[in-house]
Structure formats: structure tokens, C-alpha cells
Amino acid sequence: MYQRTQLSHADAMKVIEAIRAELESQGKGAAIAVADSQGELIAFLRTDGCRLPSINIAINKAFTAAREQKPSRAVGESSRSQNFPMTNFGDLRYTAWGGGVPLVYQGVVVGGVGVSGLPEEEDMVLAALGARLIEQG
């Protein structure tokens, strides 16, 4: 980890590579985005077979998870249960779909990972796989 509180490009690429390898083993395509702690993009990959809308959705999932420091699905569930429109966040990049997970190292959110292109539950599993790499150091 770079300075223990910042996600490095090398760390972001490890997350992307782990998810890419899992996608390839399953013969599936998706978009994978890794953002810094402010939600800004560090690294991105669109694998073979990924649909175009998944590009921005993956980036937005990583953004949401990093900015809110919780999974994008939890942000969406909270929005729905409290009847709080997602547009009230003031940034159209916030998304309510699952597949965005914060990246946590030694208890500090250092970024977010977003996966899009598969059914929501599969996106969530793959994002969690990438997040575990950062948690483990």
C-alpha cells in the first residue's frame, strides 16, 4: 500500500486482474473500475463481451462505494427505504445498483471497486472478490 492511506495504481491493477481472471474462467464479460478514496477513477478494464452501458455503470458503482464508504447497493437500499432520491446527492454519478464495494485497508476506506455487466448479484460477488485483496494487504 502506498503511504498506508492511498490506493496505488499497482494495487488497483491487482484488483482488476483478479476480477478479470475470474470473469475469464467463467467465460463472461464485464466492466471493472477502481477509484480512489474520493471516487475518482484510477484504473479501468472492459473485458471482451462487455456491453457498452456497463462502462459508466461500473465507474459510477466504484465512485458511489468510495464516496459513501459503503456498498453501492446499501446506498440504493437506504435511498429507497427513506424515499430519498439518488439525485439529492448532487452528483449524477451516484448509483443505487449493487456491484460497488469500498476498498478498505487497515480500517480506512482507500477507494472503491465497481463491476457491471452481469446480473447484479454476480457483479456484487466479483467486486467483493477484488475488495478482499486490499483488506488482506
Average pLDDT score over residue span 25-49: 97
pLDDT tens profile 93-124: 999 999 999 999 999 999 999 999 999 999 99
Enumerate the β-bridge partners of residue 6: 2
- Portion of the chain with pLDDT greater than 90, in percent: 80
Tell me, yes or no, whether 4 lies in a domain.
no
pLDDT band for 2, please (50, 70, 90 cuts): very low
Residue 43 belongs to a domain = yes
**Which residue is it, cell 483488506?**
135
Looking from the CA of 125 toward its CB, the CA atoms found within 13 Å total 8
**pLDDT at site 1:** 43
Range of the domain at 81: 9-135
In the chain, the number of structural domains is 1
Q: Percentage of the chain surpassing pLDDT 70? A: 97
Give just the sign of the alpha carbon dihedral 64, 67, 73, 77.
negative
- Examine residue 2 and state whether it is found in any structural domain, yes or no: no
119 domain residue, yes or no: yes
Res. 91: pLDDT tops 80: yes
* Residue 55 belongs to domain with CATH number: 3.30.450.150
- Tell me if 16 is assigned to some domain: yes
Whether residue 18 lies inside any domain: the answer is yes
Task: Provide mean pLDDT across the span 59-73.
Answer: 97
Please check whether residue 78 lies inside any domain of the structure.
Answer: yes
Q: What is the CA radius of gyration of the chain?
A: 14
C-beta separation of 60 from 93 below 8 A: yes
Residue 127 inside a domain? The answer is yes
Rounded to whole angstroms, the Cα distance separating 62 from 94 reads: 9
